[in-house]
Amino acid sequence: MGLNLVMLGPPGAGKGTQAVRLARMWRIPHVSTGAILREAIRNQTALGLEVKAILDSGALVDDALMTRVVRERLERPDVDAGFLLDGYPRTVPQAAALDGIIAGRGTLVIVEIVLSDAEVLRRLASRMICSECGVNSQDEGQVQSCLNCGGQLVPRTDDAESVVRNRLEVYHRQTAPLVEYYGSRATFRQVNGDQMVDEVTDALVRAIGA
């Protein structure tokens, strides 16, 4: 069986950056639900049009649609050796659905990158995102191009302080209960995210022990 990995943590915890590194290290697909949705919208696929209509109306993409997106992605043959999920699950119903999706496909390892609200706000004040692949940069403006694909880095429109505070409230209300859902499992890990990027990577590798 392959390595099936889920990364949890608040916005700004560096999940995207770490996911890219670990996926390359272990040669498993980095399945980013955000990237899947952005690509679908950009390419105007049926899924993209559906998601765009939901977002344009001011609503959120619901659990059922997100689960359908993940289920379809995890049916592809490239995940036979494992996968790294970034951005899903975000709610307990999604986590329960994921358990069903991967039943019989090996153990699920869950890692939470822990970061305080104050540090989240500090980091996101200067965070950049790749205009091509959507990967976040934690280099706080020192790097002008994406380390993942070479695309141009641009400011994130959703990183204004008021928006971030709202996202943190949503995270604590909806996503933090996942820690309780997964916390009793032998494969649940926690890593201190308030370290240098390389130190967080090393801590993740030790915690996962793949």
Q: Map residue 138 onto helix, strand or coil.
A: coil
Find all residues with CB under 8 Å of 83, minimum gap 6, and list them. 2, 4, 5, 28, 29, 31, 74
15 flagged as catalytic: yes
Annotated catalytic residue 71: no
pTM: 0.78
Q: Quick one: pLDDT at residue 156?
A: 65
What's the confidence (pLDDT) of residue 1?
Answer: 58
Predicted local confidence at residue 67, as pLDDT: 92
| Dihedral pair phi/psi, residue 36, rounded to 5° | -60, -45
Indicate which residue of 21, 90, 123, 189 is catalytic. Answer: 90
Residue tagged active-site, from 21, 73, 123, 156: 156
Examine the residue annotation and report whether 185 is marked as an active-site residue of this protein: no
Domains: count for the chain: 1
- What CATH number is associated with residue 106? 3.40.50.300
Query: Contacts by 46-53 with C-beta closer than 8 Å and gap 24+?
Result: none
Is the Cβ–Cβ distance between 110 and 186 less than 8 Å? no
Domain encompassing residue 199: 3-208
Predicted confidence at residue 140, as pLDDT, reads 46
To the query of whether residue 167 is one of the catalytic residues in this protein, the response is yes
Average pLDDT, 10 consecutive residues per value, the chain (210 residues): 88 89 94 86 87 81 89 91 92 95 92 93 77 66 70 70 81 87 95 95 91
Query: Is residue 76 flagged as an active site residue?
Result: no
Determine which one of 15, 21, 123, 189 is catalytic.
15
Task: Out of 42, 127, 173, 206, pick the active-site residue.
Answer: 127
